[in-house]
Structure formats: C-alpha cells, structure tokens
Chains A and B, each alone.
Chain A
Amino acid sequence: MIVYLDNSATTKVRKEVLDEIIEANENNYGNPSSLHRMGLRAEKEIENSRKSLAKLINAKPEEVYFTGSGTESNNIAIFGLSNLNSKDNIITTRIEHPSVYNVFRKLEKKCKVKFLDTDSSGRIDLMQLKENIDRNTKIVSIIHVNNEIGTIQDLESIGEIIKSQNVNTKFHVDGVQSYGKLKIDVNKLPIDTMAFSSHKVHGPKGVGGLYIRSGIKLNSLIYGGGQEKGIRSGTENTPGIIGFGKACELINSSFSEERNKLYQLKGQYIKRLTEEIPDTKINSPADSIAAPHIINVSFKNVPGEVLVHYLEDKGIFVSTGSACSSKARDNRIIEALNISKEYEGTIRISLGYFNNFEEIEYVVYNIKKSVEDIRFITNKRG
C-alpha cells in the first residue's frame, strides 16, 4: 500500500491533467509566437489556461502571468517591484519559504531588511509590522500559508496596515501553499502581487504563476522575446501551462467539497494520532487560522528523520521539518515557533486530492508502531 502524504512538497498529476499534457505534446506543439495557425492554436490554449488560473483567485486573466516555478514568481515579484537603494527598507517574515527568505537575505547587502517574528501559532505580530513600515519601505512580502505548519496569515489586516502606513509600499504574497486550497479573492485583498505553482495543485512541474494587479509595474529580470508581456521572456511551456490550466479548472469545479474533505481528513488524522499515541504534539494551529492540508506533528523524543524512514518502509511518505537534535540543521521555522527540544523532531503530513479516509487507520497504526519502536530503541533501559 502506498500512501503519499507529502503533497506540500509536490503532488501527483491528475489523470485528466496528464491527458491534456500528452495531447498538447502530440498535437498542439506550435510556438505561440508563430504567425501560422499552429501558433495561434497554442496561444488560444494558453489564454484559456490563464482564464482558469485567474478564476481561482477572482483576478482578471490579463493580471495572470506564467513563469517557470513558484520560486521564479517570487523572485520576479520581489526583484521586479523593488528598485532599491541604501536608504530603503523591505520587510518579510522569519517563516518564509527559501524562495523568498533567501531573496531577502541577498537584498540585505543593498538595503535594510526586517524579518518579522511570529507567535507560537506562526502568526506575525501586526504591531511589529506597523512599527516597521515607514516612508522608505518599498516592499512587504508575506507567506500566505506557511509550508511547514500551515498557518494562514491575515492578509486583509496586513494589507490594510501596509497601505495605511505607506500607500506606496508594495505588498507581495507567496501563495504557493494557499493557491487552490483557500478561497482567495484578490479584489477583496489589498495585495499587489501573488505567486503560485502548478505542481502543488496536481498540475505538472516546471510551471508557475504570478498575479500582478493591473497598474503595477515590474522590472523584468529576463530579457528575450518579450513573452508574457515582457515579464517572463522565453518560449511558453505550452503543455505545462495547459496542464496547469486543467488542474485549476478541476479545482474550480469542486472547490468547496475538496476543501471540506481536506479539513475533515486533517481533523480525523489529528484526532486519531492524539488518541493513539501518548506525548503527541500538534504544531499546526487551530483550523480557524490553518490550511486544510498541512499537519505538523511531533512525538516526544522521536527524531523526525528516523520516523520518515520507518514510514517509507511501510509505503507511507511524509516529510520532516527538522533533523534530529544531535546535528540539528538550522531550521529557522521550527526555531521561530519556539518548539521545545524534546518535541523538535517534527514530521509534516500534507494532504491532497488523492488522499481518502480509508488510509487513515493504516497510517495511524504504522505511525504508532514506529513511534513505539523508536522510543523503545532510543530510550535507555531502567
């Protein structure tokens, strides 16, 4: 039995999506920039996909741009929005994905950078945000749903604070984990740009998306044929884009049902794990501020990596948030959340479309067995 529970890392492509990708590779392989009929046909399909992406966040199609990945979208937005000099400052959080965090680390050489703290639920301190925005603040970048523990940030309040402090400050959102999982309406949120990714929503790898609000100007990072209105030159990955579009269309068609199912699965996992296994700590916050698909959990004195290997032997695939304590790798997210040492071996169970209720008992049983075994081995006699 294979139970894939690492959907925040990447997802399996849905069959309907795969069929479209194959069809595009076989029959719709023209270059959208070509003058002839095949070029036009490819272009049309790309525009259809753009509509599907836009619909999911209530954006206008012309506000959606295709890129090569979520990472690329974050880079394009942050570098493209900020023409920085040494007087400027920029703000992000301590719990960003590396594709934002490392961009800000890089920019530390150019200007002042503030990394906001979070509380133990992973939410940023709004007062601290407010205090740090001044007339030189060029950009604030916030991760919508944290990829390790699933905390949702309150984008509405954050955006209001940003715009009330400095109307010129740009607000970028890393939406890679929230896109397709949460109801997002860009018209109700005071955001300027938002990044998302195809392979997190059962689309193919190698395609990303970037929302840019009408009227916002970005500098290009890549020069070439001027595709995607100059935002991302390079021949479009037509089959990938068509696949991404199909994945979004499928999400659109059953959005609420899917989201509710994920929340129910998550709730059941949490219930059964805490019932069955003593000294279990759920690190993800309550559902009111947490995404439906991410469960971050620690079992006292159980190194996450070891548990991952135990479970892979049973065909269960989860990921680990941290290495074991002996040679603790720098895990700034676990660190930011202030998790005590005996619980720092975390694992992340992340759900997707293909998961179901039948898997839960198999998974809980094997986690229980593995945790008992690991605790037995690592705890000394007497």
Chain B
Amino acid sequence: MYNIVAVSFGEIFLKGKNRGSFERKLIDQIKYSVKDFEDVYVYRDSGKIFVEARNEDMDEIIEKVRKVFGISVLSPSIKTVKDPDEIIEKAKELFGYLLEKKDIKTFKVRTKRTDKSFPYKSMDFSALVGGKILEKFSSVKVDVHNPEVEIFIDIKKDCYISSERIKALGGLPVGSNGRALLLLSGGIDSPVAGYMIAKRGVEIKTLYFHTYPFTSERANEKVKRLKEILEEYCGKIKLYSLNMLEIHKAIRQFCREEETTILARRFMMRLAEKIALENNMDMLITGESLGQVASQTMKSMAVIENAIEMPILKPLVGLDKAEIIEISREIGTYETSILPYDDCCSVFAPKNPLINPKLNSIQKSENNLNIEELIETVYSTMEIL
C-alpha cells in the first residue's frame, strides 16, 4: 500500500537556529539506518523528511527508521502527483485498505496545502474527497469532531496521503549534542546507559576492558554484538578494547585484596579519560546504578570518580535493576547481555570488597603502583574491535 514514510521531528522544533544542522544530522542517521536497502530515497520537502522506498520493503524500513533518535512520529504514506483525480483515487484505495484492517464507522478528511497553486482550497478539497469516499463505502459516516480515522492529504511539492501514525522514540538526532565515551562491559546496564545518552543527541564511542586470558575471546564477540545493537539507534560506533591484565597483576601483588575493584575502576576511568581526550570527547558514560554492587555505593562512586577530572554521566544512577532490565528488553540488548561469557573467571573480584572506601587510603595504596607506567602498558594493548 505505502510507498513512502513521512518523518515528523520531535524536539528539533525547539532548537531555533540550529534546526538546519539538526535536520541534516537526522537525515544522515536515517540514511545510515536504511543503508542495506536498495532504491531508497531520503529527502526534505517543506519541513518534513520523507523516506521513499519499494512497497515491499516498507514495513522493514519503518522498523529501521523508527529507531532513529529525533523522530516523534512516522506516517506511512502514499505519494502521488498533485492531480485531484489521482489523489481521490489513492485516498479511496487507502480507505479501503484501512477498512480491511479494522472495522471503521466514522472518518474525516483533512487537507493541508503548502502549495497554494493547487486548484482547491483545503476545506473544499477535504469535502470533495470525503464525498467520494462516502459514495464508495456506504457503511461509514463522516464525523469531523471525533472520527475513528482521519485521512490526511498533505499537498507540498508532491502530494502525500496518510492515516496511520507510528510513535517513534523521540530524543535528538545523534551527533547534534556532542561526543562521549561509553564504558561498555557486556552486562545489562552499560548498553542501556549508552542508549539513554545517545538518545539525547550524543555521538558515542565505546570502550571495553577485558583480562584475556582470564576472560574468553567469546566475550569480545558478545560486546561487539551489543555495540551492533546500539548501532541500530546511533549509527556507526567505534569500539576500543584494552587488556587490564597488567594492572590486575600489579594490584594483586602490591595492594590489599579488598581494594581491588575500586583500584581497578580508578584505572579504568583514567584510561577512558585518556582515550576520550585524545579523540575529542567531552564526557564518559557508565552504567552505574546507586547501590547495585559494592563499587556502586555512594562512597565507592565518589572515590572512583575522584581519579579523573572529566565528568562521568550515569544515566541509570537512580533506576532499579528491574527498570533497567525493562529498558534493555525494549531496546533489544537484554538477550545478548545475559549470555554467559562475561568475566567468566572472577579471580580478580575480591571476596569482601570495600563498600566504604576512604580516598586517602586508596591513594596510599596507589603509591605502591607505578600509575603512569601501568596506564601506558595497558593503553598499548588497545585494539579496535
């Protein structure tokens, strides 16, 4: 039935002067989301973006485009030339299609005319089309106040006829709001954190820490898969990976066992900050949620954060685990996150981790370590997955 989908923006309207560049970012993201389809044409026509594609691809196209941030509503539409007879034919066709899908008793036709050279005024044309529909489908009535179905005829450079509305994700187009580095672990939380920040228009890159050979190469594949799921929303995402083994060895050798997690996390932040600064990113993102594990108590988070200057965004900080799981199911990362390849050997996890670490004693422990050298050693293990 449909040969095009009309894209309505969400908050972009609020952004005044930036609107043009936001729209271009959005178009880029939409183009990326449908890159695997042939004969797709994405363009602007008087304040809306349109995605034209083959009829048979339309359902899948809508599914892909729906995941692009910055869109409020999608309207699957029929694109026609601006010929009144042709429009009437297509409107009747669309109405018949809708009538097959569900029982309709009342409807109305609404016309919007951006092109004033069209020979009918909006109201007159709505009445004309409505009359033709009534002629063909005798079981329905017009109700201008509270119709079950509205046939919307949007006359721009071309004409677009639509009725169904699909709610999209909202947010802002990725790339419209700066860049940040997500610490992606392979668990449930971090992909959700990345999703939430990306939704606010932030372009994200990702960083994964492993301890091969204490973790499996299969864990890399899992993190890659999570990154790919996020890419459905965010476009292409870079994934850095670093091997933390040397740091863990040093901590194991020179520090107290119960401090392991806090110390390791502080190193992770330093490494993340280094990568972020070198790649023109302004903030870090983590999936921490207050109180979830020992390293996520108020005190632990404060001590960990103290290791660096760069701000850390923690969009899940106030959410319960169940709420996080719900989002991860919605965005499609949950099933991958629960695969059993995460740190299969928790040999580095202390038996009794600190929950109230003291900054000065942690700093004292770090005096036993050559921080600069360890950072350089681990940094040199960088791979782009």
Contact = CB atoms under 8 A, between A and B. Distances in A.
Do A and B pair up? The answer is yes
A37 interface: no
Contact of A309 (B213, B248, B349): B213
Contacts of B216: 305, 309
Contacts of A292: none
Nearest to A307: B213
A303 B347 contact: yes
Interface in B226-267: 245, 248-249, 252-254, 257
Contact of B248 (A305, A323, A324, A377): A377
B14 interface: no
A220 B249 CA distance: 58
Nearest to B255: A381
A320 B154 CA distance: 65
B214 interface: yes
A219 interface: no
A23 B245 CA distance: 49
Size bracket, chain A contacts: 10 to 19
A301 to B, nearest CB: 10
A381 B249 CA distance: 11
B352 interface: no
Interface-centre pick from A305, A309, A380 (highest chain B CB count, 10 A): A309
A378 B248 CA distance: 10
Contacts of B347: 303, 306, 324, 326, 377-378
Contact of A305 (B249, B252, B257, B344): B344
A343 interface: no
B344 A381 contact: no
Contacts of B245: 377
Interface string B182-217: 000000000000000000000000000000111111
B345 A324 contact: yes
A378 B249 CA distance: 8
Contact of A303 (B212, B340, B345, B349): B345
Contact of A306 (B213, B248, B254): B213
Interface string B319-358: 0000000000000000000001000111101000000000
B344 A380 contact: no
A244 interface: no
Nearest to A370: B213
A377 B252 CA distance: 7
A327 B213 contact: no
A144 B257 CA distance: 46
Interface-centre pick from B217, B345, B349 (highest chain A CB count, 10 A): B345
Contacts of B349: 326
Interface string A305-345: 11001101100000000011011000000000000000000
Interface-centre pick from B212, B249, B344 (highest chain A CB count, 10 A): B344
Given A306-B213, A309-B216, 19 more contacts: A303-B345, A303-B347, A305-B216, A306-B214, A306-B347, A309-B212, A309-B215, A312-B213, A313-B213, A324-B345, A326-B346, A327-B344, A327-B346, A376-B249, A378-B252, A378-B347, A380-B252, A381-B252, A381-B254
12 contacts: A306-B347, A309-B213, A309-B215, A324-B344, A324-B347, A326-B346, A326-B349, A327-B344, A376-B249, A377-B249, A378-B252, A380-B252
Interface of B: 212-217, 245, 248-249, 252-254, 257, 340, 344-347, 349
Interface of A: 303, 305-306, 309-310, 312-313, 323-324, 326-327, 376-378, 380-381
The 9 closest A-B pairs by CB, nearest first: A309-B213, A326-B346, A324-B345, A310-B213, A378-B347, A306-B214, A303-B345, A377-B249, A381-B253
